[in-house]
């Protein structure tokens, strides 16, 4: 009887087990569950507020998180400086020129609105030294209400303010107390509040980072989608004492460490291989591609797929034209994207853009402000990517190739930076006068300007690593192994289906054709002479 | 005239499987090469690889069969009567001359056939196998080989051999129609039996 009882009881246990299993499966399918926090910040006395100023919130944070400010001030997010180990160049947002608005140093309050701090108004000086100048909320806000106002050098607005200028739209000051009581881990929205808006607007700069990734469908990003794994940026860009891993100056172009096991490897997860390893495909022939192709080359078939266009061409040389009444002009292209602004010149935007492919070993060099340009050989590379087919550390990577025209000094042969932003009598966007804007840019950045300038075509490489769709949407073999190949012109590889020897083909088909011709003639002759021998 | 078994069961099985696999390999191979795009590169490559492995296995059995049965002797080349056969195909066939070669079960291939099949077996096929396996295992080449050889050369030789294979097949298929009737050479390869003058 006992046995019967047991047997009778077992299905119940099995059912319960299955239910637990099903729940576990569902929770995995719906995205990684996160460990509950050990602190409810709304219960902290120090966070009861009210806060006059965001720096007061930081002071409250530092009351418990005593080392956080020092940690943050040690990171590139704070210093905007990066000492490149391979090239010896000093890079970082404080030093490099890009092909968008040039340099932060000539446009401080606007550009430093994305600094992870408050009040960096003079970039010729280091960021403010006070611990309370560190901005905790830009990364740790979970309410979505915290917004660094674009023109206040990192501060949110503390009074009701109009933005964009002239729009009539009033931005209200955020409720700092509520925000402080609801802090949590960084997420796609917090990282994205700066990184999705680089270059002055949504999706402008990167192409694979824009606001569509705050809540992406699975088809746009299988990792970040709430329907998929619901990853935060920091799930891959793992951190160590506030230092975020992953660099666009020194990219890990080929991760040979494979799956990162705690205690055994480098504890960063910024490469695909960190989780997927170096032979992730069931088909061995696909794994055979891993040594030459970055994962993204097949797995990010196009960028800017989320409905937000990215800038592909920016011609500064046409900026400054005004209408008959002396007012700035705005023009749109057939897709409704801005194609001309008096402040900024001509643009071309792209959506669902097929990347540019090139060999890449991860090292990026910049054309810095004192570097003589090779003007006989335009376009000028604003940054240069190293690597080639004979280098075992290189792979073929996808890039957004940003192109456009930028000012340079015709006497000195160097790039120039423009003072674009500011309510003063020199900024380009207020005065539409290049001479004045470039002179101001020279003064602010300390880079010499002879007074003579013109525009030169430039290009800039932006490695593509985000917007990975489910595997079914990866490129198929024929995208490259075909006459019309995505990798046409990359060089250094023999791609069956794309490459061939024209003479071998000519000779081969000639031999085939002659054989066929011989056979046909022989057959015709047989028909003609049929039976004649016996007659 | 006597009705004799000239192509044994295994020989026919081997021949027709090989024919099917070679046609598959030619079609998919030329797609991989970029000459057409019927199946798509990925499927073409998958089928090509599968058919190649199948043909390798078939060949292992066929080699074993040739040596254990002594049938390999059928392919020993001979000059004896070679020019008479060539003369027949170039001229005699139009004047209704008799084929100069008398087939027996121990020498069932005429001298021209022997040469052609020998060339197929010891030149075209081995070149295709060696380059094909190098091609397939390109990523696993040992360093010394990788330093000395490029995939491009392997691919070119493989393609060249494929053209030779295609030429062989066109000529071979045509010549099977040159018996007393159009199908009299083909029938024995199906049934195994042929009527021989003995």
* SS3 assignment for chain B: CEEEECCCHHHHHHHHHHHHHHHHHHHHHHHHHCCCCCCCHHHHHHHHHHHHHHHHHHHHHHHHHHHHHCHHHHHCCCCCCHHHHHHHHHCHHHCCCCCCCCCECCECCCHHHHHHHHHHHHHHHHHHHHHHHHHHCHHHCCHHHHHHCCHHHHHHHHHHHHHHHHHHHHHHHHHCCCCCCCCCCHHHHHHCEEEECC
Question: How distant is the Cα of A473 from the closest Cα of chain B, in angstroms?
Answer: 15
A32-41, A88-97, A367-376, A504-513: lowest mean pLDDT where?
A32-41
Domain count, chain A: 2
- The CA distances from residue A484 to A172, A300, A338, A355, in Å, are 53, 19, 32, 15
Q: Which of A497, A516, A532 is opposite residue B96, by nearest beta carbon?
A: A532
Q: Which two tokens stand for residue A33?
A: 């569950």
Sequence length of chain A is: 535
How far A395 CA sits from the closest chain B CA (Å)? 15
* Interchain contact, A498 vs B34, CB within 8 Å: yes
**Chain B residues within 8 A of A526 when measuring between CB atoms:** 93-94, 178
The mean pLDDT of A530-535, rounded to a whole number, is 57
Q: Using an 8 Å CB-CB cutoff, list chain A residues near B170.
A: 512, 515-516, 519
Mark out the alpha helices in A196-277 (DSSP H runs).
233-236, 273-276
For residue A11, name the pLDDT band (cuts at 50, 70, 90).
very low
Give the mean model confidence (pLDDT) for residues A506-520. Answer: 97
Look at B151 and A288 and tell me if their CB atoms are within 8 Å. no
**Predicted pLDDT of residue A63:** 97
CA A206/CA A317 separation, integer angstroms: 22
pLDDT tens per residue across span A457-475 = 999 999 999 999 999 999 9
- Given an 8 Å threshold on Cβ–Cβ distance, is A476 in contact with B40? yes
Q: Do A477 and B42 touch (CB under 8 A)?
A: yes
Task: Provide the pLDDT confidence category of residue A203 given band limits of 50, 70 and 90.
Answer: very high
- When CB atoms are compared, the residue of B94, B160, B170 closest to A508 is B160
Mean pLDDT in residue range A381-391: 95
pLDDT of residue A10: 44
Supply the pTM of this predicted model. 0.89
Q: What is the mean pLDDT of residues B61-90?
A: 90
Show the tokens assigned to A277: 């390893």
CB contact under 8 A, B163 and A477: no
Name which of B33, B41, B163 is nearest A512 (Cβ-Cβ). Answer: B163
Range of the domain at A509: 502-526
Q: What is the 3-state secondary structure (H, E, C) of A306-337?
A: CCCCEEEEEEHHHCCCECCCCCECEEECCCCC
Q: pLDDT > 70: what percent of chain B?
A: 98
* Chain A residues with CB-CB distance to B33 below 8 A: 496-497, 500
What is the chain A residue with the closest CA to B35?
A497
Cβ under 8 Å to B: A residues 57-76? none
pLDDT tens for each residue of A148-196: 999 999 999 999 999 988 899 999 999 999 999 999 999 999 999 999 9
DSSP conformational letter for A23: H
Is B96 in Cβ contact with A529 (below 8 Å)? yes
**Chain B contact probe: residue of A284, A390, A497 with most B CBs at under 10 A:** A497
pLDDT at site A1: 33
Q: Do B166 and A512 touch (CB under 8 A)?
A: yes
Provide CB contacts within 8 A for A344, sequence distance 6+. Answer: A314, A316, A319, A429
Q: Which pLDDT does position A29 carry in this prediction?
A: 47
| Length of chain B as a residue count | 198
**CB atoms < 10 A from the CB of A511, how many?**
16
Structure tokens at A7: 């047997």
Residue B170 and residue A516: Cβ atoms within 8 Å? Answer: yes
Q: Does A52 fall in a domain?
A: no
pLDDT of residue A34: 84
Is the model's pLDDT at A30 over the cut of 70? no
A515 and B171 in contact by Cβ < 8 A? yes
Q: Do B40 and A496 touch (CB under 8 A)?
A: no
My answer on whether omega of the bond before A116 falls inside 30° of 0, hence cis, is no
Written as six digits, the tokens of A505 are: 């083909």
In Å, how far is B33's CA from the nearest CA of chain A? Answer: 5
**Which of A497, A522, A528 has its CB closest to that of B33?**
A497
Residue A5 has pLDDT above 90, yes or no: no
How close does chain B come to A269, measured CA to CA in Å?
27
Residue A6: which pLDDT band, with cuts at 50, 70 and 90? Answer: very low
Q: Which residues of A touch B88 (CB under 8 A)?
A: none
**Residues 486-525 in A contacting B (C-alpha not used; CB under 8 Å):** 494, 496-501, 504-505, 507-509, 511-512, 515-516, 518-519, 522-523, 525
Closest chain B C-alpha to A478 CA, distance in angstroms: 5
**Which residues of chain B does A478 touch, with a Cβ-Cβ cutoff of 8 Å?**
37, 40-42
Question: How many Å apart are CA A207 and CA A216, to the nearest integer?
Answer: 15
The whole-number pLDDT of residue A296 equals 97
Q: CA nearest B164 in A: which residue?
A: A508
Least CA distance to B46: which residue of chain A?
A285
Among the partner-chain residues A496, A515, A516, the one whose CB lies closest to the CB of B32 is: A496
Which residue in A356, A349, A343 sits closest to A431, CA to CA?
Answer: A343
As given in the structure block, the two tokens for residue A39 are: 């602190």
Task: Judge contact between B168 and B116, C-beta under 8 A.
Answer: yes
Average pLDDT rounded to a whole number, residues B18-44: 96
* Average pLDDT for B137-147: 90
Partner-chain residue, chosen from A500, A525, A534, that has the shortest CB–CB distance to B96: A534
| pLDDT value for B78 | 86
Asked whether residue A91 is domain-assigned, the answer is no
Minimum-distance CB partner of A478 among B40, B164, B167: B40
Residue A458 is predicted with a pLDDT of 97
Binned at pLDDT 50, 70 and 90, residue B100 comes out as: confident
Counting the structural domains of chain B, the total is 1
Collapsed DSSP state (helix, strand, coil) of residue A295: helix
Interchain CB distance below 8 Å, B171 and A496: no
Percent of chain A with pLDDT over 70: 93
User: Measured between CB atoms, which of A285, A482, A533 is closest to B96?
Assistant: A533
Among chain A residues, the shortest Cα distance to B28 is held by A497
Determine the distance from the C-alpha atom of residue A239 to the mean position of all C-alpha atoms in its chain, rounded to a whole number. 18
Q: Is A511 part of any domain? A: yes
CA dihedral in degrees (B153, B157, B159, B162; nearest 10)? Answer: -170
pLDDT of residue A15: 53
Does the pLDDT at position A109 exceed 90?
A: no
Burial A139-153 (b: 16+ CB within 10 A, else e): bbbbbebbbbbbbbb
- Contact A504/B167, CB-based, under 8 Å? no
Q: In Å, what is the CA distance from A389 to each residue of A212, A359, A382, A527, B90?
A: 35, 7, 23, 58, 53
Q: Say how many CB pairs under 8 Å bridge A and B.
A: 96
Residue A214 near residue A189, CB atoms below 8 Å? yes
Q: Which residues on neighbouring strands pair with residue A463, listed in sequence order?
A: A399
**pLDDT digits over A234-266, tens only?**
999 999 999 999 999 999 999 988 898 888 887
* DSSP-derived secondary structure letter, A208: S
Touching B: A residues 244-303, CB under 8 Å:
285, 288, 291
Per residue in A308-330, pLDDT (tens digit) is 999 999 999 999 999 999 999 99
**Nearest alpha-carbon partner for A380 in A408, A417, A341:** A408
Please state, in angstroms and as integers, the Cα–Cα distance from residue A107 to each residue in A129, A269, A420, B33, following that order: 21, 34, 6, 55
Using DSSP, state whether A407 is helix, strand or coil: strand
Q: Residue A535: is its pLDDT beyond 50? A: no
Contacts of B42 in chain A (CB under 8 A): 476-478
Specify if A508 maps to a domain: yes
Q: How confident is the model at residue A9 (pLDDT cuts 50, 70, 90)?
A: very low
Average pLDDT, chain A: 91
User: Residue B116 is part of a domain; what is its CATH number?
Assistant: 1.20.950.20
Phi, psi torsion values for A323, nearest 5 degrees = -80, 180
**Enclosing domain of residue B77:** 2-196
Whether residue B132 is predicted with pLDDT greater than 60 in this model: the reply is: yes
C-beta atoms of A508 and B151 within 8 A: no
Q: What are B's interface residues with A at a Cβ cutoff of 8 A?
A: 31-34, 37, 40-42, 45, 49, 89, 93-97, 138-139, 150-152, 155-156, 159-160, 162-164, 166-167, 170-171, 174, 177-178
pLDDT at A335 over 80: yes
E strands in A362-470: 364-366, 380-381, 383-385, 395-409, 414-415, 453-463
Confidence of residue B5 (pLDDT cuts 50, 70, 90): confident
Q: How confident is the model at residue B2 (pLDDT cuts 50, 70, 90)?
A: confident
């Amino acid at each position: 009887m006992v046995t019967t009882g047991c047997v009778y009881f077992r299905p119940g246990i099995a059912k319960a087990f299955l239910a637990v299993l099903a729940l576990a499966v569902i929770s995995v399918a719906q995205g990684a569950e996160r460990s509950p926090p050990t602190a409810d910040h709304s219960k902290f006395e120090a966070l009861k507020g009210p806060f006059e100023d965001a720096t007061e919130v930081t002071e409250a944070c530092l009351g418990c998180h005593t080392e956080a400010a020092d940690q943050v001030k040690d990171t590139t997010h704070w210093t905007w400086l990066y000492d490149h180990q391979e090239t010896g160049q000093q890079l970082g947002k404080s030093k490099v020129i890009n092909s968008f608005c040039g340099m932060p140093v000539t446009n401080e309050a606007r550009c430093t609105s994305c600094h992870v701090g408050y009040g960096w108004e003079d970039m010729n000086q280091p960021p403010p030294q006070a611990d309370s100048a560190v901005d905790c909320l830009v990364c740790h806000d979970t309410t979505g209400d915290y917004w660094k106002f674009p023109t206040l050098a990192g501060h949110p607005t503390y009074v009701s303010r109009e933005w964009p200028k002239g729009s009539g739209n009033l931005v209200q000051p955020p409720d700092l107390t509520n925000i402080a009581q609801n802090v949590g881990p960084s997420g796609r929205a917090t990282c994205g509040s700066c990184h999705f808006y680089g270059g002055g607007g949504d999706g402008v700069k990167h192409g694979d980072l824009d606001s569509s990734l705050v809540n992406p469908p699975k088809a746009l990003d299988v990792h970040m989608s709430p329907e998929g794994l619901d990853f935060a940026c920091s799930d891959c860009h793992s951190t160590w004492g506030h230092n975020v891993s992953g660099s666009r100056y020194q990219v890990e172009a080929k991760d040979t460490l494979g799956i990162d096991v705690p205690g055994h490897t480098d504890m960063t997860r910024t490469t695909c291989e960190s989780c997927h390893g170096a032979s992730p495909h069931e088909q061995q022939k696909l794994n055979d591609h891993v040594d030459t192709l970055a994962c993204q080359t097949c797995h990010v078939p196009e960028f800017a797929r989320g409905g937000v266009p990215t800038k592909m061409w920016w011609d500064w040389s046409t900026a400054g034209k005004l209408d008959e009444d002396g007012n700035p002009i705005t023009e749109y292209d057939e897709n409704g994207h801005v194609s001309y602004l008096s402040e900024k010149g001509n643009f071309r935007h792209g959506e669902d853009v097929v990347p540019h492919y090139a060999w890449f070993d991860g090292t990026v060099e910049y054309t810095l402000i004192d570097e003589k340009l090779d003007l006989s050989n335009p376009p000028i590379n604003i940054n240069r990517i190293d690597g080639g087919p004979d280098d075992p550390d290189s792979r073929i990577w996808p890039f957004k190739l940003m192109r456009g025209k930028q000012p340079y000094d015709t006497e000195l042969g160097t790039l120039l930076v423009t003072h674009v932003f500011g309510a003063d009598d020199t900024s380009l966007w207020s005065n539409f006068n290049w001479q004045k804007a470039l002179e101001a840019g020279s003064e602010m950045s300390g880079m010499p300007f002879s007074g003579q300038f013109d525009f030169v075509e430039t290009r800039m490489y932006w490695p593509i690593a985000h917007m990975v769709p489910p595997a079914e949407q990866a490129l198929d073999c024929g995208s490259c192994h075909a006459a019309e190949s995505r990798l046409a012109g990359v060089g250094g590889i023999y791609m069956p289906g794309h490459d061939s020897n024209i003479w071998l083909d000519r000779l081969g088909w000639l031999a085939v054709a002659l054989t066929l011709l011989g056979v046909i003639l022989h057959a015709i002759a047989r028909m003609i002479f049929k039976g004649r021998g016996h007659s | 005239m006597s009705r004799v078994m000239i192509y044994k069961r295994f020989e026919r099985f081997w021949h027709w499987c090989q024919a099917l696999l070679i046609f598959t390999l030619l079609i998919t191979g030329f797609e991989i090469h970029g000459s057409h795009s019927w199946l798509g590169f990925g499927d073409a490559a998958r089928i090509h690889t599968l058919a190649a492995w199948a043909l390798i296995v078939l060949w292992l059995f066929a080699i074993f069969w040739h040596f254990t049965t002594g049938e390999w002797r059928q392919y020993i080349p001979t000059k004896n009567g070679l020019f008479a056969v060539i003369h027949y195909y170039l001229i005699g066939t139009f004047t209704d001359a008799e084929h100069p070669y008398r087939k027996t079960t121990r020498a069932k291939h005429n001298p021209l056939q022997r040469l052609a099949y020998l060339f197929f077996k010891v030149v075209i096929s081995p070149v295709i196998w060696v380059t094909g396996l190098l091609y397939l295992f390109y990523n696993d080449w040992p360093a010394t080989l990788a330093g000395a050889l490029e995939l491009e050369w392997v691919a070119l030789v493989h393609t060249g051999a494929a053209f030779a294979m295609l030429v062989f097949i066109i000529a071979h298929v045509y010549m099977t129609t040159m018996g007393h009737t159009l199908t009299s050479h083909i029938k024995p390869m199906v049934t195994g039996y042929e009527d021989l003058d003995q």
